[in-house]
């Protein structure tokens, strides 16, 4: 079936010609996301300029038989925003980018789905409030995408992930009807938990139009620390020791030597490139005594587990540079080879040492260059395979290693994805983590809410 010219004209009349894209060069811009997967260009790209027009555009696209993929910034790493081949539409939320309310009395924000995550963080901070979810892409990723994939981030250990801050939302169903769920109240059990259902749904059940997000009082005291190690195992044991010691840092991040060297080459901030691994730790709170007490407990645990040094950066500028460098780890690694394959299989925190050991074995077995970093405090590691997608023999080894990473994580009672989502890349693995009955239940649910199977077909569960 070829995209109907009359349907294109309908969209142009509805949304304005400037918000409807059909030229090949424009379509190719939305043929891929952050995953290393083959691109697939849609038939048309729609950018509704208002929430009301989003619902109407969605209804007409569905009636026209177009496979639908909602897209924010396209930073996700699982192929969740790669459109279907054939007659398909990408619906962009970039113009739905208003922060509608920051409520300082009841501690919530109301936002449209195209708001950039960091913009909400900064707007809340202006009032002394705090929006904790902080994916590595927060300067460009959007809140709708964060909810769709349940994005995490560096502060996930103490503060949780996106699902922990979603109080309510509005979305459009396949008929273009506005569905309202959740509330501005702390407690709400009216009806089904639709916010919970829509979180991590990856655009397979509806398209978001408004989000109600919880805010917190901003902590007034913060201390950052770095711990340097001669071997990876000691760093991993320190992570397990900190959690077992009943200390809850705001962040507990891991970088191996490959990452340290890549980031130092890119940023020149004096990272210890001779070290096998480094932990980056931050504790926060409202009282100096509590924050300094937690920092001292962590220092003792790290030294007990073999840390060569545990340092507190002397100035705020130095602390900021270290955390900016950590957020820049993936771009720094990407400079080393034409392609990077970043995974996020996650294990129970006590099993981080075993997972790091497994990644090392797999890298040697498949003769691949791997840098590992990530949110070690919540078990969410990011083994990053450096490769060239154009070399079929090398990429075959990459695919075999990725399979091995998933196998290792599941054997350690872990999960396929801690924060990047399932998308296309991991859908075939879902039955191994769950079972066939779970897959069939999920497909039946999707079928009831999307009878023609047009919402992000082929993603999440297949």
Per-residue confidence band for 462, with pLDDT thresholds at 50, 70 and 90: confident
Per-residue confidence band for 254, with pLDDT thresholds at 50, 70 and 90: very high
Q: What is the per-residue burial (b if ≥16 Cβ within 10 Å, else e) of 4-38?
A: eeebeebbeeebeeebbbeeeeebeebbbbbbbbe
How far, in Å, CA of 316 to CA of 332, rounded?
23
User: How do 44-46 and 20-21 pair as beta strands?
Assistant: antiparallel
Extract the tokens encoding 146.
């964060």
CB 146, CB 162: distance < 8 Å: yes
pLDDT at 171 over 60: yes
Residue 274: burial class (beta carbons within 10 Å; 0-12, 13-18, 19+): exposed
- The answer for residues whose C-beta is within 8 angstroms of residue 272's C-beta and 6 or more apart is 228, 260, 278
Per-residue confidence band for 154, with pLDDT thresholds at 50, 70 and 90: very high
- Among residues 166, 200, 195, the alpha carbon closest in space to that of 180 is found at 195
- The per-residue DSSP string of 144-213 comes to HHHHHHT---TTHHHH--GGGGEEEEEEE-TTS-EEEEE-SSS---SSS-HHHHHTT-TTSS-EEEEEEE
Q: What is the pTM of this model?
A: 0.95
How far, in Å, CA of 235 to CA of 357, rounded?
12
What was the pLDDT predicted at 452? 96
Report the chain's mean pLDDT, rounded to a whole number: 95
pLDDT at 1 over 70: no
Chain segment 340-372, per-residue pLDDT in tens: 999 999 999 999 999 999 999 999 999 999 999
Over residues 219-241, the mean pLDDT reads 95
CB 110, CB 126: distance < 8 Å: no
pLDDT at 327 over 80: yes
Structure letter (DSSP) for residue 85: S
What was the pLDDT predicted at 324? 83
Can you say whether the dihedral through the CA atoms of 200, 144, 253, 225 is positive or negative?
Answer: negative
Place of tokens 């995408």: 145
Over residues 37-64, the mean pLDDT reads 96
What was the pLDDT predicted at 421? 94
Per-residue confidence band for 85, with pLDDT thresholds at 50, 70 and 90: confident
Per-residue confidence band for 326, with pLDDT thresholds at 50, 70 and 90: confident
Over residues 189-218, the mean pLDDT reads 97
What was the pLDDT predicted at 43? 96
What was the pLDDT predicted at 62? 97
pLDDT at 82 over 70: yes
CB 253, CB 236: distance < 8 Å: no
- The answer for residues whose C-beta is within 8 angstroms of residue 347's C-beta and 6 or more apart is 354, 355, 379, 381, 409, 412, 413, 414, 415
Q: Report in angstroms the alpha-carbon separations of 346 from 141, 163, 232.
A: 22, 17, 17
CB 443, CB 180: distance < 8 Å: no
Chain segment 265-287, per-residue pLDDT in tens: 999 989 999 999 999 999 999 99
What was the pLDDT predicted at 390? 95
What was the pLDDT predicted at 2? 67
Backbone angles phi, psi at 172, to 5 degrees: -100, 135
- The answer for residues whose C-beta is within 8 angstroms of residue 312's C-beta and 6 or more apart is 223, 224, 225, 295
pLDDT at 316 over 90: no
């Amino acid at each position: 079936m070829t995209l109907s010219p009359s349907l294109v004209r309908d969209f142009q009349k509805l949304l304005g010609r400037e918000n409807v894209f059909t030229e090949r060069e424009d379509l190719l811009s939305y043929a891929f996301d952050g995953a290393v997967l083959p691109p697939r260009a849609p038939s048309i790209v729609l950018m509704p300029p208002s929430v009301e027009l989003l619902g109407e555009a969605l209804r007409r696209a569905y009636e026209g038989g177009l496979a639908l993929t909602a897209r924010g910034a396209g930073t996700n790493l699982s192929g969740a925003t790669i459109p279907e081949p054939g007659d398909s539409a990408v619906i962009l939320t970039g113009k739905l980018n208003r922060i509608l309310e920051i409520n300082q009395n009841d501690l919530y924000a109301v936002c449209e789905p195209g708001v950039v995550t960091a913009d909400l963080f900064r707007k809340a901070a202006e009032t002394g409030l705090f929006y904790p979810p902080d994916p590595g892409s927060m300067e460009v990723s959007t809140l709708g995408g964060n909810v769709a994939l349940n994005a995490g981030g560096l502060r996930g250990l103490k503060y949780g992930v996106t699902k922990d801050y979603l109080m309510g939302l509005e979305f459009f169903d396949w008929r273009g009807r506005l569905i309202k769920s959740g509330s501005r109240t702390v407690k709400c059990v009216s009806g089904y938990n639709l916010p919970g259902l829509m979180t991590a749904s990856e655009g397979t059940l509806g398209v978001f139009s408004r989000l109600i997000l919880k805010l917190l009082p901003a902590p007034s005291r913060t201390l950052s620390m770095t711990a340097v190690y001669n071997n990876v195992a000691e760093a991993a044991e320190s992570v397990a020791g900190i959690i077992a010691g009943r200390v809850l840092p705001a962040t507990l991040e891991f970088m191996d030597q490959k990452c340290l060297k890549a980031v130092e080459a890119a940023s020149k901030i004096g990272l210890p490139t001779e070290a096998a691994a480094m932990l980056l730790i931050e504790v926060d709170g409202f009282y100096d005594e509590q924050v300094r007490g937690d920092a001292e407990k962590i220092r003792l645990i790290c030294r007990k587990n073999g840390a060569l040094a545990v340092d507190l950066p002397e100035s705020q500028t130095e602390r900021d540079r270290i955390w900016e460098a950590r957020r820049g780890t993936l771009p720094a690694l990407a400079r080393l080879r034409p392609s990077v394959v970043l995974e996020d299989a996650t294990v129970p925190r006590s099993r981080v040492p075993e997972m790091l050991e497994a990644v090392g074995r797999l890298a040697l077995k498949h003769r691949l260059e791997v840098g590992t970093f990530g949110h070690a405090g919540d078990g969410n590691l990011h083994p990053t395979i450096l490769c060239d997608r154009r070399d079929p023999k090398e990429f075959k080894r990459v695919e075999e290693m990725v399979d091995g990473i998933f196998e290792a994580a599941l054997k350690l009672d872990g999960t396929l994805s801690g924060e990047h989502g399932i998308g296309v890349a991991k859908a075939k693995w879902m039955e191994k983590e769950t079972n066939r009955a779970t897959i069939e239940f999920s497909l039946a649910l999707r079928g009831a809410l999307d009878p023609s199977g047009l919402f992000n077909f082929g993603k999440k569960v297949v």
